[in-house]
Structure 1
């Protein structure tokens, strides 16, 4: 293999090491998102609210597995392994671009749905305060739109509005907390931006890796062909 082929081989190997790291980071990030909303609403609401984090988790696992395959193909100079990696990388690239476009175009719709989830939890809080408490503790918020929601309904401010270790919670202290709609919306707004821009960055690197993998597979195939003459 000439110098160009060796360069492509090791660049591809380094790319896949980076992909392994990206896959691990996506798995961790998706797990954090799931852990933040795992107790939100009913089972159906929880599943729908977790749809994006679950997609991120699956994407992270797929990237990790494919990257490992790419590392093996590059180091061993295996044509079959490298071409299989190229096909998987192309499919992954297209799927990731589709996910980024979906998140980008459906952002407002998704955030609106999150508002409805919080509103549903608030409506059910008179019969099941535990879910509302979990939401308030997780996002450091109070009420649906603010602490005034409890005041309007002549209800006592729950301790969860002032933190996990609060023995009691006054209206004055609770009013410093944002409403859960605002806090939940802000959390997802920031998370979606991370998914969008990180996804575009990873997709650009995946495109380069796909091109390099094709070049390496072609180089190895040509070397085998020359060796047979």
Structure 2
């Protein structure tokens, strides 16, 4: 079925947009996987569900994008009203999901420090008795090169010997490992809270930026698809 010159332009714009749409889907998928992998070791340190669900939402959206792009390309080329409407609906749903992730990313990072601080203070005293807590603090102190929550003094305040992970490298004398102390070489003097919060904030800003940025681009796709679908419907009605 032929359509007007103006809508023909929209048709090809929509087709080109779907190629871009597929690329954005790949970007969304990669960002979601990267954030999920990067934040996974520390995800238990905050009770904010956004840092668990946000990356997963982007991963799911990235996969769905390829399916939606197929409907968009086929609908634009064949001028199929049903497929274009289906594309528009899916695209609108994805737009809302990405918009929600984007907004949540910028909102949640404001409450992040309180959440992490509360969790660390509640669990540090269980370091000697809980393997999960010990593993979490050891990974945190090794990866971020930090010690304690606010500083090394947190271990003394909780009557716990300074963990070996507060030192970058352990001294060995007479075949024995020397305990980590403030005088040990490579001793971490910075607290973990001051390093962990910026790490999570960067993740939130990345998720928020990707979600909002790509959502705005996809909104153009919804507009193009609706214009083309309306033109095709009008052509049917005039026949």
More deviation, 153-162/214-223 = 153-162
* Alpha-carbon contact 1:89-1:210 (below 8 Å) kept: yes
Equivalent position SS for 2:150: coil
* Alpha-carbon contact 1:147-1:174 (below 8 Å) kept: no
The answer to whether the aligner puts 1:145 opposite 2:158 as a matched pair is no
* Alpha-carbon contact 1:70-1:85 (below 8 Å) kept: yes
**Counterpart in 2 of 1:67?**
69
Q: Please give the per-residue CA displacement for 1:23-46, whole angstroms capped at 9, x wherever unaligned.
A: 222222222222233344769969
Rg larger in structure? 2
1:215: Cα distance to partner?
Answer: 1.2
Q: How does 1:45-56 map to 2 (within 5 A)?
A: 49-56=51-58
Say which of 219, 224, 231 aligns to 1:212.
224
State the TM-score, normalizing by the size of structure 1. 0.79
Q: Please give the per-residue CA displacement for 1:26-69, whole angstroms capped at 9, x wherever unaligned.
A: 22222222223334476996977423222332333333432332
- Between the aligned partners of 2:31 and 2:6, the Cα distance in structure 1 is 37
- Between the aligned partners of 2:164 and 2:73, the Cα distance in structure 1 is 54
Say which of 103, 106, 131 aligns to 1:104.
106
**Counterpart in 2 of 1:158?**
164
1:161: Cα distance to partner?
Answer: 4.7
Equivalent position SS for 1:145: coil
1:143: Cα distance to partner?
Answer: 2.2
Equivalent position SS for 1:27: helix
**Counterpart in 2 of 1:185?**
197
* Alpha-carbon contact 1:13-1:70 (below 8 Å) kept: yes
Equivalent position SS for 1:81: helix
Q: Which runs of 5+ in 2 are unaligned?
A: 172-179
C-alpha change, 1:9 and 1:114, in structure 2 (3 Å) is farther
**Counterpart in 1 of 2:188?**
175
- Between the aligned partners of 1:43 and 1:150, the Cα distance in structure 2 is 18
**Counterpart in 2 of 1:123?**
125
- Between the aligned partners of 2:123 and 2:35, the Cα distance in structure 1 is 19
Equivalent position SS for 2:186: helix
More deviation, 203-212/116-125 = 116-125
Give the number of equivalent residue pairs: 223
- Between the aligned partners of 1:73 and 1:136, the Cα distance in structure 2 is 53
**Counterpart in 2 of 1:199?**
211
